[in-house]
Amino acid sequence: MKKHTLLILCLCCVLIAKGENGYDLWLRYKPVGNKTLLQSYRENITTIITSGSSATMDIVKNELSTGLQGLLQTTIDHGAAVNRHGAIIAGTPRSSPLISNAGIAIPLQQAGEEGFVILSKILNGKRCILISGNTEKGVLYGTFHFLRLLQTEQSIQQLNIISAPKIRLRMLDHWDNPDRTVERGYAGFSIWNWHTLPGYIDQRYIDYARANASIGINGTVVTNVNANAVVLTQPYLEKVKALADVLRPYGIKIYLTARFSAPMEIGGLKTADPLDASVQHWWQEKIKEIYTYVPDFGGFLVKANSEGQPGPQDYKRTHADGANMLADAIAPFKGIVIWRAFVYSNENPLDRHKQAYDDFVPLDGTFRPNVLVQVKNGAIDFMPREPFHPLFGAMPKTPLMMEFQVTQEYLGQGTSLVFLAPLFKETLESDTYSKGKGSTVAKVIDGSLEHHPLTGMAGVANIGNDINWCGHPFAQANWYALGRLAWDHTISSEQIADEWLRMTYSNNPRFLKAASRLMLESRDIIVQYSNPIGLHHIMGTSHHYGPAPWVNNQQRPEWNPVYYHKADSGGIGFNRTATGSNALAQYQPAAREQWENMQTCDEKYLLWFHHVPWNFRMKSGKSLWEELCYQYYTGAERAGKMQDTWKSLQPFVDKQRFEQVNMLLKIQHTEAIWWRNACILYFQTFSKMPIPASYEQPGKTLEYYKSLRFPFAPGI
Ligand SMILES: CO[C@H]1[C@H](O)[C@@H](O)[C@H](O)O[C@@H]1C(=O)O
């Protein structure tokens, strides 16, 4: 080999190896591969003109420089005047005369406070692209959107984009503890290093803010809902201030979780009763103190009277009493209170499904205007598939905020490729019928159904200090999806997968076709091999990893899988109709109708709502038992095929990320077989029916699966 060929080869290797560990997320800015497009991009992008001097505008400027340099492989000049074709002009009408004189007042009006416009214009007889918003934050979002167009190889001729977020608070909830453990985290330890804050600003904080801004996330709760009052003490507030200062230029507000008993734990009071004057005073003073550190502090997220957390009910007060006390104290600073509706206790032994509705619906109309009630997508708990929460549509006078779980607590945790956009969309598009047909969950939470100005969507973060942030390389797509859907819930899962794959891996059409199918089918596959036909909550207790439908030894009945599947010799499933727990009554009649009757119930939710005989005839013509076997076996088989699909994509993926996904898919397949065998063998003890002979029979016994202890992956 000639010397210079070798040199070029080495250089290529270095280039390829750099950044292939996934740290850059979807902001890789790799050279545009399509030569014709590259040529046209270069012709249309020759100068960057930014205006206004602020930390946010510096970010805009840098992002355009690095992004364009990476994508176009050429340095783009910065300028001040339009004297040739191809100026990219970024700024607000206030700071940029070029923009204020460009005649774009009407589109800007539609962009609102946080939105942006990206418009092709002729200025001074030259072709230009304007990226503008009414605020610098809008310009920042527009900048990332513009770069995304190039990253995903879209045309930039005749741009006429006006985009405004449909939801006001677009947030990540970190379940991160002060000792850096992350509850339900599968990507290492917390990225927040309380030990070295406030003196040391980890580059990760900046990169985190940038990634969030690129998808429109504008709020973050940095502490766990199972809260520790220590975060409200003065040394921690200094640390919180340091983080807030990093996040602010990226348009992100910081929020904290408030432990309801904090006045006692760190304030020395005898009570935390929300109607007690000394408690109210304590919170007022504490909040005043917080705002001296963080003048734009977002507010509190509160988990109260749930899973052992303290709350107003400890003093015979209601959730509204608790939320309103905090809301009143924080209102003078324009802060908000996000009060969680994830409540259940053993006082509701019949059906945990019903408690949030029972506790919260009577309180509708009694919350202060700066309170949002945050509701999980379903009534049980982030299951692989769950009908929408009956609270959506049932509290018209209260703004309800969506809580999705991005971390995959019940969906394979750190080992499984599961793209969650289809799950999120399934909930958002569900019809509550609360104001007639078309009253979707999306319209409840974006405020359009009941005209609420305060709206929100949060995702429980899947971020940790792993080199690639999320553990599984494909888990990044779920962070991405949350942000994109919070901005615009009408975007399809297909589009989100396509964008993410193009930016993260490759624009090659062959790659995209197979890889997007892999993503789009993945959620259905995990439902099939773990919780088919409406089964739910049959995983290992406490760690929630792997199957354990047999568990019946927890002190709290509603923590036991047997409580949920109710398998017996007569059948399987939870009767939530009028003859059972009647949780169905919490839905509008028109919504209820799709599930009420066992014969016509949407089979995705059959065992969620009905206790069904083993020989019940399914729509496929199979008996329920045969269908259950079919679903488990098909799911596991499809999980196996995911490996083949990925292997076929090797030519398009760098070595490191290819191997990572490859190894994880192998583990996932093992887990799928584990789920299948363990569940089928266990349920067979009730059905007493054979596993159809056409299927490979489990090689291990039920006793073997029962004996497995976390975290051992089974030999199968
Ligand atoms: C933070 O606690 C979590 C808990 O770990 C989790 O298993 C359960 O799903 O939900 C709780 C909640 O959402 O509050």
Rounded-to-integer distance, Cα 170 and Cα 403, Å: 10
Q: Ligand 1 centroid vs 319 CA: distance in angstroms? A: 18
Q: Ligand 1 centroid vs 371 CA: distance in angstroms? A: 21
Pocket of ligand 1 contains residue 175 by CB under 6 Å: yes
Question: Is the pLDDT score of 537 beyond 80?
Answer: yes
Catalytic residue among 20, 381, 450, 593: 381
Pocket of ligand 1 contains residue 226 by CB under 6 Å: yes
pLDDT digits (tens, 9 = 90+) for 340-372: 999 987 776 789 999 999 999 999 999 999 999
Residue-level pLDDT at 714? 60
pLDDT digits (tens, 9 = 90+) for 254-263: 999 999 999 9
Catalytic residue among 24, 136, 321, 409: 409
For residues 672 and 712, the model is more confident at 672
Q: Ligand 1 centroid vs 232 CA: distance in angstroms? A: 21
Q: Ligand 1 centroid vs 301 CA: distance in angstroms? A: 14
Average of per-residue pLDDT values in the chain: 96
Mutate to test the pocket of ligand 1, among 226, 344, 402, 406 (most ligand atoms within 8 A of CB): 226
Pocket of ligand 1 contains residue 537 by CB under 6 Å: no
Residue-level pLDDT at 21? 95
pLDDT digits (tens, 9 = 90+) for 118-134: 999 999 999 999 999 99
Pocket of ligand 1 contains residue 303 by CB under 6 Å: yes
* Residue written as token pair 């191997």: 659
Question: Is the pLDDT score of 157 beyond 80?
Answer: yes
Of all protein residues, the one whose alpha carbon is nearest to atom 6 of ligand 1 is 184
Q: Ligand 1 centroid vs 481 CA: distance in angstroms? A: 21
Atom of ligand 1 nearest to the CA of 544: 7
Of all protein residues, the one whose alpha carbon is nearest to atom 13 of ligand 1 is 342
Q: Ligand 1 centroid vs 634 CA: distance in angstroms? A: 30
Residue-level pLDDT at 716? 58
Contact between 522 and 200 (Cβ < 8 Å): no
Contact between 169 and 456 (Cβ < 8 Å): yes
Average pLDDT for residues 142-170, to the nearest whole number? 98
Contact between 368 and 335 (Cβ < 8 Å): no
pLDDT digits (tens, 9 = 90+) for 421-450: 999 999 999 999 999 999 999 999 999 999
Residue-level pLDDT at 709? 83
Q: Ligand 1 centroid vs 306 CA: distance in angstroms? A: 9
Catalytic residue among 289, 307, 358, 659: 307
Residue-level pLDDT at 350? 87
pLDDT digits (tens, 9 = 90+) for 84-100: 999 999 999 999 999 99
Pocket of ligand 1 contains residue 225 by CB under 6 Å: yes
Average pLDDT for residues 212-221, to the nearest whole number? 99
Instruction: Please state, in angstroms and as integers, the Cα–Cα distance from residue 400 to each residue in 169, 184, 450, following that order.
Output: 12, 24, 10
Contact between 659 and 556 (Cβ < 8 Å): no
Neighbours of 184 (CB within 10 A): 18
Q: Ligand 1 centroid vs 343 CA: distance in angstroms? A: 10
Atom of ligand 1 nearest to the CA of 410: 9
pLDDT digits (tens, 9 = 90+) for 361-401: 999 999 999 999 999 999 999 999 999 999 999 999 999 99
Pocket of ligand 1 contains residue 152 by CB under 6 Å: no
Whether ipTM > 0.85 holds is yes
| Catalytic residue check, 409 | yes
Helix H, strand E, coil C: the string for 620-653 is CCCEHHHHHHHHHHHHHHHHHHHHHHHHHCHHHC
Helix/strand/coil percentages in the chain, nearest 5: 45, 10, 45
Share of the chain above pLDDT 70, in %: 96
Pocket of ligand 1 contains residue 593 by CB under 6 Å: no
DSSP 679: H
Share of the chain above pLDDT 90, in %: 94
Residue-level pLDDT at 8? 46
Atom of ligand 1 nearest to the CA of 306: 14
* Residue written as token pair 């807030």: 244
Mutate to test the pocket of ligand 1, among 176, 182, 183 (most ligand atoms within 8 A of CB): 183
Pocket of ligand 1 contains residue 154 by CB under 6 Å: no
Pocket of ligand 1 contains residue 559 by CB under 6 Å: no
Question: DSSP E strands: which ranges in 216-311?
Answer: 219-221, 253-257, 299-302
What is the DSSP pairing of strand 116-123 with strand 126-132?
Answer: antiparallel
For residues 284 and 554, the model is more confident at 284
Residue-level pLDDT at 4? 52
Q: Ligand 1 centroid vs 314 CA: distance in angstroms? A: 20
* List of domains in the chain: 22-163 (3.30.379.10), 169-504 (3.20.20.80), 528-574+611-707 (3.90.1330.10)
Question: Is the pLDDT score of 6 beyond 80?
Answer: no
In this structure, what are the phi and psi dihedrals at residue 162, rounded to the nearest 5 degrees? -125, 125
Average pLDDT for residues 262-284, to the nearest whole number? 98
Average pLDDT for residues 43-59, to the nearest whole number? 96
Of all protein residues, the one whose alpha carbon is nearest to atom 2 of ligand 1 is 226
Pocket of ligand 1 contains residue 183 by CB under 6 Å: yes
Angle between helix axes 234-247 and 203-214 (nearest 10 degrees) is 50
Task: Collect all residues with Cβ–Cβ distance below 8 Å to 292 and sequence separation of at least 6.
Answer: none
